[in-house]
Amino acid sequence: VLLKEGKIILFVMAGTDSSASSRQSSFNSLAKDLELPLEQGCLTIVVLGASGDLAKKKTFPALYHLFEQGFLQSGEVHIVGYARTNLSDDGLRGRIRAYLKGASEEHVSEFLQLIKYVSGSYDSGEGFEKLNKEISDYEMSNNSGSSRRLFYLALPPSVYPSVCKMIRTYCMSPTSRFGWTRVIVEKPFGRDLDSAEELSSQLGELFEEDQLYRIDHYLGKELVQNLLVLRFANRLFLPLWNRDNVDNIQIVFREDFGTDGRGGYFDQYGIIRDIIQNHLLQAGFLFGCNGKACIS
């Protein structure tokens, strides 16, 4: 899925050769045809909240799959985990390894060697100075002349303002190098409309709009992505899949585990706000029926 001039472009890469190099070559060719800029050089991905539930279950496995498919090159990408937990590099790698089951051991080991860990507070400059030093040291050793920095906030919204202030103060891409700084913030975006607008205003004072990405990781699931193709790229379903022809939608969400360390987060934001108003309702909107819906 590519985004060009505000429009979503869906594509499928087919063929007998499914190697990483082949997929990367196909992607590069398509991007060239669509006149999308291809960037090369040093890329640092910083996962803030690296010791948390979201990072180990979703963010790092997603980065691994991008690496395995050839979209993250070992000579160009550097991944840094940042959190308050006192961990070593190997300690974080061990936590991540447990969630990469079934993957090639050779690929996993190569991927984990790209990951470093920095421990620090979310509201003090000392930790972010260490983080910036880690990033800058890698950029200097890479000798590419570029500085692309992507910050992924796998954190509760309550710490977004303080973390973004620290990023703005200590960790922006240096103007002396070609590159950019981008910040990805996860849902839920505030507790209600007022807090969401306040949070948006606070982040807007620190970054330009094209530097901010607000996402819901659930929409990246393969099943949810397939709904887009099934509905909007299907001539049979497209004219029929609407509220006039669909009686109701039933969405069932089940987990075979408990809160598993997420209790503090759920106590503050609530399981209904976290799951229903974000993940499940947005999945329901993909059906676009505007009719009756049942969520359980």
Q: In whole angstroms, how far apart are CA 247 and each of 61, 153, 237, 287, 289? A: 37, 39, 15, 12, 9
Amino acid 283 reads: A
Q: What are phi and psi of 158, to 5 degrees?
A: -60, -25
- Per DSSP, 288 falls in state -
Kindly give the pairing relationship between strand 2-4 and strand 7-9. antiparallel
Helical H segments across the chain, by residue range: 20-33, 53-54, 60-68, 89-97, 105-112, 125-142, 160-170, 193-204, 222-232, 263-269, 271, 281-285
Query: Catalytic one among 65, 107, 217, 279?
Result: 279
Query: Whole-angstrom Cα distance, residue 264 to residue 269?
Result: 9
Query: Whole-angstrom Cα distance, residue 274 to residue 166?
Result: 26
Any catalytic annotation for residue 78? no
- Chain CA centroid to CA 224, Å: 15
Active site residues: 279
